[in-house]
Structure 1
Amino acid sequence: MKKNRFHCCATCVHFAVVKSTNIGYICTRLQYETKPDYVFNCWDPRSAVQKLIKKEDKERG
């Protein structure tokens, strides 16, 4: 997979914020606690992020 500046948990469709006494983050696909800046190979970008990636790729030529 080509690395890009958007590749992190916070931009993934499976990323969720869990609010209780503290704010936490979870991967709903894997059911693991995560952090917004973590990077995994199972990354599936949100549609808005996919559009930004395509736009940047187009601008680079």
Structure 2
Amino acid sequence: MSKKTYQVCATCIYFQAERIDHKMRYFCSRLKYETKPSYSFNCWSPKEHVIKLMEKRGEMI
């Protein structure tokens, strides 16, 4: 797998998901707007468990 496999909003430290009125809301606290888990931006900062997984698989961060 490559870095791009992981580089999506759902694996970023700024990604937030919350349920409001029975609907899911996905939000980037860094960019200050709604997003989706599968979106990808150049400002991606991986969560700690993603970093460990990438290191374990010998992939560059």
CA RMSD of aligned residues (A): 1.6
Pair member with larger Rg: 1
| Structure with the larger RCO, 1 or 2 (CA within 8 Å, 6+ apart) | 2
Q: Percent identity?
A: 44
TM-score, normalised by the number of residues in structure 1: 0.83
The gaps in structure 1 that reach 5 residues or longer are none
Q: Which runs of 4+ in 1 moved over 6 A?
A: none
TM-score, normalised by the number of residues in structure 2: 0.83
The gaps in structure 2 that reach 5 residues or longer are none
Aligned residues: 57
